């Protein structure tokens, strides 16, 4: 069997063995319901408190403001829908960007069907939301600005602190989907003017189906999931104790190793971008060269289809993506690539590779050799490329 080279860490990551180990006792031994009164259940309660503290510390916020959810999508839905609901008497206008994850975009579209107005801000050619555009879009009836911390397709890191400051200057709440950024780059929610922040376990080597929403004290949003009194009456449902413990452990490790991982990934990322741009003609890099997640590369190769490229890479044991996992499988080009101004045919020839700490330079050298070969072959088969070559001879 071929060696698997996993370059899709923005889609999901492996749960670390230390994380699994930390979780196991909470399935079989300490399985008590954290809401029960007997002493046995207090083990679950203590474990939840410990994880909450780890996460609060990581974000520089009080741990009581961390609320566990079933992942990034739930956190985004909760922040947006519950804010819309709670502040409807003030206004029904929400501002977001055109490059958000579907968990944000589809939630906003849902609200549009229910009497809310949404402004979708443009981004520049690198995928950056311009602070002056946000300033201009804020209205007296704006109740929420939601802008992602870092983009899942092109890795662009947004000027969150500045955007948050603008929202606050106008008395508007600021939410950020930090699912791609949390655990990868430093975030201090308080210093960065963030009122609400979504994150997810499985994007930072934690388990799937667990995440959290940070809600700054004083924000009066109600629950999305109604039922029992868990999570200070804001998120019902018996706590996913193993998941919460796993998330806490993953965050602890992510914080402790962040600097070292980022340095290593940036080195590999830049090496990859430099060699591919040099060795494969008619290629462009999507996203910002400087304001970029450590592990993200995204290219468009002219004259080819990203889907064919993915299939041929897969035959070599290489896992990559042509956009977001949710975009793959549909024929529409990625909304993010269109928003940064790529024409459809260029957007179709795009490839995202996202690095993790286990990727090595040898892996990357192998991937680059395969890419050169595969892009060359696909171009040989492309009538567009044939026309292009004829015209330029
Ligand atoms: C993966 C992702 C989500 C969804 O998180 P889940 O935990 O899979 O629900 C939301 N936003 C961004 C930016 C993501 O990358």
The structure tokens listed for 392 are 């330029």
Q: How far apart are the first and last CA of the chain?
A: 43
Gyration radius of the chain over CA positions: 22
pLDDT tens, residue order, the chain (393 aa)? 679 999 999 999 999 999 999 999 999 999 999 999 999 999 999 999 999 999 999 999 999 999 999 999 999 999 999 999 999 999 999 999 999 999 999 999 999 999 999 999 999 999 999 999 999 999 999 999 999 999 999 999 999 999 999 999 999 999 999 999 999 999 999 999 999 999 999 999 999 999 999 999 999 999 999 999 999 999 999 999 999 999 999 999 999 999 999 999 999 999 999 999 999 999 999 999 999 999 999 999 999 999 999 999 999 999 999 854 444 556 688 999 999 999 999 999 999 999 999 999 999 999 999 999 999 999 999 998 999 999 987
Task: Give the position of tokens 């595969």.
Answer: 374
Ligand 1 atom, smallest distance to 150 CA:
13
- Report the pLDDT value the prediction gives residue 325, as an integer from 0 to 100: 43
Residue 310 Cβ inside 6 Å of ligand 1? The answer reads: no
Residue 22 Cβ inside 6 Å of ligand 1? The answer reads: no
For residue 34, the CA-to-ligand 1 centroid distance in Å is 27
- Report the pLDDT value the prediction gives residue 329, as an integer from 0 to 100: 54
Residue 206 Cβ inside 6 Å of ligand 1? The answer reads: no
Positions marked active-site: 326
Nearest CA to ligand 1 atom 3: 72
d(CA 256, CA 109): 38
Q: What b/e sequence results for 155-191 when a residue is b if at least 16 CB atoms lie within 10 Å of its CB, and e otherwise?
A: bbbbbbeebbebbeeeebbbbbbbbbbbbbbebebee
Residue 181 Cβ inside 6 Å of ligand 1? The answer reads: no
Closest by CA position to 8, among listed 153, 150, 185: 153
For residue 180, the CA-to-ligand 1 centroid distance in Å is 7
Of the residues 8, 12, 71, 213, which should be mutated to test ligand 1's pocket, given the most ligand atoms within 8 Å of the CB? Answer: 71
pLDDT tens digits, 58-83: 999 999 999 999 999 999 999 999 99
Please provide the DSSP assignment of 250-318 as one string. HHHHHHHHHHHHHHHHHHHHHHHHHHHHHHSSSEEE-S-SSSB-TTEEEEEETTS-HHHHHHHHHHTTE
Query: What pTM did the predictor assign?
Result: 0.97
Contacts of residue 316, defined as CB under 8 A and 6 or more positions apart, other chains included, come to: 2, 5, 366, 370
Nearest CA to ligand 1 atom 6: 72
- 300, 338 Cβ separation under 8 angstroms: no
- 307, 351 Cβ separation under 8 angstroms: no
The structure tokens listed for 214 are 């940070």
């Amino acid at each position: 069997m071929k060696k698997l080279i996993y370059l899709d860490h923005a889609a999901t990551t492996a749960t670390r063995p230390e994380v699994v180990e930390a979780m196991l006792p909470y399935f079989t031994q300490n399985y008590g319901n954290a809401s029960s009164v007997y002493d046995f259940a207090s083990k679950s309660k203590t474990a939840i408190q410990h994880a909450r503290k780890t996460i609060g510390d990581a974000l520089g916020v009080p741990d009581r403001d961390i609320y566990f959810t079933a992942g990034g999508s739930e956190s985004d839905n909760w922040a947006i829908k519950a804010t819309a609901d709670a502040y409807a008497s003030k206004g029904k206008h929400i501002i977001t960007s055109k490059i958000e994850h579907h968990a944000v975009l589809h939630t906003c579209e849902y609200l549009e069907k229910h009497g809310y107005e949404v402004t979708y801000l443009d981004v520049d050619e690198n995928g950056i939301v311009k602070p002056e555009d946000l300033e201009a879009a804020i209205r007296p009836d704006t109740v929420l600005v939601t802008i992602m911390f870092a983009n899942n397709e092109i890795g662009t890191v947004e000027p969150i602190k500045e955007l948050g400051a603008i929202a606050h200057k106008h008395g508007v709440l600021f939410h950020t989907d930090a699912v791609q950024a949390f655990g990868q780059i430093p975030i201090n929610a308080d210093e960065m003017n963030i009122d609400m922040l979504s994150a997810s376990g499985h994007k930072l080597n934690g388990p799937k189906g667990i995440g959290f929403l940070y809600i700054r004290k004083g924000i009066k949003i109600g629950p999305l999931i109604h039922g029992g009194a868990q999570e200070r009456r804001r998120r019902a449902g018996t706590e996913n104790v193993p998941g919460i413990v796993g998330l806490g452990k993953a965050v602890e490790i992510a914080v402790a190793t962040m600097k070292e991982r980022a340095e290593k990934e940036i080195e590999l990322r830049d090496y990859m971008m430099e060699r591919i741009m040099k060795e494969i003609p008619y290629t462009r890099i999507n996203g910002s060269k400087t304001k970029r997640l450590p592990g993200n590369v995204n290219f468009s190769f002219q004259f080819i289809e990203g889907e064919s490229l993915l299939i041929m890479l897969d035959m070599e044991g290489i896992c990559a993506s042509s956009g977001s996992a949710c975009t793959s499988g549909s024929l529409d080009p990625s909304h993010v690539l269109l928003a940064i101004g790529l024409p459809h045919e260029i957007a179709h020839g795009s490839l995202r590779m996202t690095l993790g700490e286990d990727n090595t330079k040898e892996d990357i050298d192998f991937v680059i050799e395969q890419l050169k070969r595969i892009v060359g072959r696909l171009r040989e088969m492309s009538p567009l490329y044939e026309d292009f070559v004829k015209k330029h001879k």
